[in-house]
Every structure is written in C-alpha cells, then in structure tokens.
Amino acid sequence: MARSRLWSQYGVCVLVLVLLHACKKNQEPTEDAPVVTTVKAPNLPDSLFAYSALKFPDSWLNDSALQLFGASGANIEISDAGATLGRVLFYDPMLSADGMVSCSSCHLQAHGFGDNTARSIGLTGEPSRRNTMPLANLRYQRRLFWDARTVGLENQVLEPIEHPDEMGMVLSDLPDQLSGLPYYRTLFQAAFGDSVISTDRIATALGQFIRCIRVHSSRYDEGLETDFANFSDSEVQGRELFFNGVTRCNQCHSGLNFFSTQAFINGLEVDYAAAGDAGIGELTGYAEDDGRFRTVSLRNIGMTAPYMHDGRFETLRDVVDFYSDSIAWHPYLDERLTVTGVDGDGQEPYRLALSSSEREALVDFLLTLNDTVIQDAWWLGDPF
C-alpha cells in the first residue's frame, strides 16, 4: 500500500524506549530499567479514507425505532483524520502496559470485531470474565457491555485500556507513552488541529473509528430489496420461523438491527448468581435482574461464535437447540420465553421442539445476516 511522505520519513520500523513504570496496577514492582521494544509505524494511504462519507441507508435513518435509539450518537461528528487516528489507536499494542495488547487482540475484524474464543486473553494471560462483544452499529447502542453498565461509547473506550486484565495501562501515563512514538504527533495534529495528546482525544478518536463499523450490507439486506429472490428454500423457511411469532425470536432481536436496547433473561440458568455471573443482577442486587443481559444484535452472528455472555455455545445450531429444547426455569424468565407468553401467568419455559429441518433453516437464515463488506474492508483493518 502506498505510504505518505509524512509516514515514510520514519521508516518501516522505529526503535523506541518505553519506560515501564514500577507502579502499574496488578503488576509486581519491577526495576525502573528501560525496556527496548521494536515498534512499527502504521502504513497509511496517501489520501485519507472518506470515513465521514459513510452513511447508514435511508431505510435505517428513517426507521422510527432506530431513530429513537440513534439519538445519542447522531450528533457525533466523524472526521476522516479522527477516524484514521482511531484506527491506529485501535490496533496499537502500545496503548497497553506491556506493549503487547491492543483492542484488536480481542476484537478481531475476521470475527465481526468479536473473538473466536469463549473468553479472551488480555495482559495478565488470564481469560476475560465474559465473551468479547462484537462491535457493530454502536451508534444505536447507548448502554454498553453485556450488563449495560456504561453509558456512551466515549466513556466506554478508555475502560479496557485501564482494566488490569485487558490492557492494564495507568490512564494518566497514556499521553506520555504515546508522545514517545513518532507517528502520533502528526495524527493528533491532523485530527484535532494541534499535536496535544490527551485521554479525551484518544477516547474521541477511538469512538469515531468504532462508529464506522457499520453492518447493513448482508444477503438479508439484499433480500429486502429483491423480495428474497436471492434466498434458498431453507433460508426462506428460516426467515418465516424467525418472524412468525411462534419462535418469538424477533420479539426480542427486533428491527433492522436485530437487537433490543433492553436487557432480558433468556433462561440459560436457573440461578445465574450461583453459576458465577448474574449480569445486571450483580449491579442492582435485585433478584429480578439475576441473569439479565443485553439483547445483542444478531447482525454478523455467523462470524461471532462462540455465543452468549460467557461463550457457552460453540455453534448457531447449539443456540437454536437451546431455545428449542432447554430454556431453564427461572423465577424471572422473560414472558416471551414462557409457555403462557406476554401477559400470561407462570414461568414454565417455552419449548419450541423444532424439527431438525426447522433448526437447520433457522441457522441458514441467521447466516444471511453476515455482513459482506466490513470483514474485508482495509480501512477497518490493521494499519501496522
């Protein structure tokens, strides 16, 4: 790929001295000896990619439900230089305490910016507590994480940087650490008008980049335009099952983004707290929140295995088998997954008991939600 004159003056590799401070969280005190690390400069195109020109389709922008959810992100301006800086930050392991972990260590482009392992490994080498969430269409998501604990993407993005098990960085040290790298001055200058590096600016740029991960080009979207002439018989059947009201899938995973901004209890456990993760229940302490988790989007779902907050299901077929056969009794199981349904009385889990071909059809339909653009988009890929 072509490199601009600004970048080439640094050469492909630069050596920098990184002083690892002795006071990092959860780290054994170390000698204050300089650690020499080889750092690559990012390989960026001569002219910036037009991130600012990316647009959701009119059908999304005019959708009344999405408009409601999109209100929080609609006014955030994305500039080409801001998102370019965000892309570099997203892939740069120098944002971590040991120079080894980047956002992309866990959020992999090939897997819809999720991870293909149940629990990701961060700085400490210990598996993360929950399954890495895929990143897509976050303009429509105000409350983040599986338990919706953080409001606003710009507030969220710094959390993994300082999380001791993820990137383990002391945030106040981050601007200095980045100042030591030759490529950031120019990038910050281009994005913000001067080369000052601050955590706020880092958050803004990461937020801009992540907002450019937009998933709305799938075979399903093509089908919406062509009355599903592009679908196989099995995909047609799967779509009917998904939307027909019997499976109730679309009553929670709804609309063009196949999600809900609300969190529900979908019956993975009888007692989630006892099983080790009560989700929102851990934050509120209420029994009716035990096991309440975000109703994540099913866009790109074929790329983001394994599934659920703990990555317990390896395949989509496992997920469909779960909804069909083994939803657990739970005192606050969502009504949509009970026999009596919404406004009914009782918590008896709904057993769909789908036939084998219906299960296959549902899986085939879910696979049509895979995006055909972002997986290969170089402008969302690793610049290093």
Among 212, 319, 361, 374, binds ligand HEC (CB under 6 A): 319
Among 186, 237, 247, 370, binds ligand HEC (CB under 6 A): 247
Shortest Å, Cβ 31 to ligand HEC? 26
Complex with ligand HEC: residue 84 or 120, whichever CB lies closer: 120
| Residue 363 contacts ligand HEC per CB under 6 A | no
CB atoms within 10 A of CB 258: 23
Compute, in degrees rounded to 10, the torsion defined by CA atoms 135, 141, 144, 149.
-170
Kindly tell me the burial class for residue 304, based on how many C-beta atoms sit within 10 Å of its own C-beta (0-12, 13-18, 19 or more): buried
| Residue 212 contacts ligand HEC per CB under 6 A | no
| Residue 135 contacts ligand HEC per CB under 6 A | yes
Residues 7-66 within binding reach of ligand HEC (CB under 6 A): none
| Residue 83 contacts ligand HEC per CB under 6 A | no
Long-range contacts of 178-182 (CB under 8 A, 24+ apart): 178/94, 178/95, 178/202, 180/16, 180/17, 180/18, 181/14, 181/16, 181/39, 181/94, 182/10, 182/14, 182/16, 182/41
| Residue 293 contacts ligand HEC per CB under 6 A | yes
**Alpha-carbon torsion 237, 239, 245, 246, what sign?**
positive
Among 87, 239, 248, 359, binds ligand HEC (CB under 6 A): 248
Provide DSSP, 29-66. ------EEEEEEPP---SS---GGG----HHHHT-HHH
CB atoms within 10 A of CB 70: 20
Among 296, 327, 328, 380, binds ligand HEC (CB under 6 A): 296
Shortest Å, Cβ 103 to ligand HEC? 3
Size of the site for ligand HEC (CB under 6 A): 49
Which residues here bind ligand HEC, judged by CB under 6 A?
A: 101, 103, 105-107, 120, 122, 128, 130, 132-133, 135, 141, 144-146, 156-157, 160-161, 166-167, 206, 210, 247-249, 251-253, 264, 266, 268, 293, 295-296, 298, 301, 304, 307-309, 319-320, 323, 334, 336-337, 362
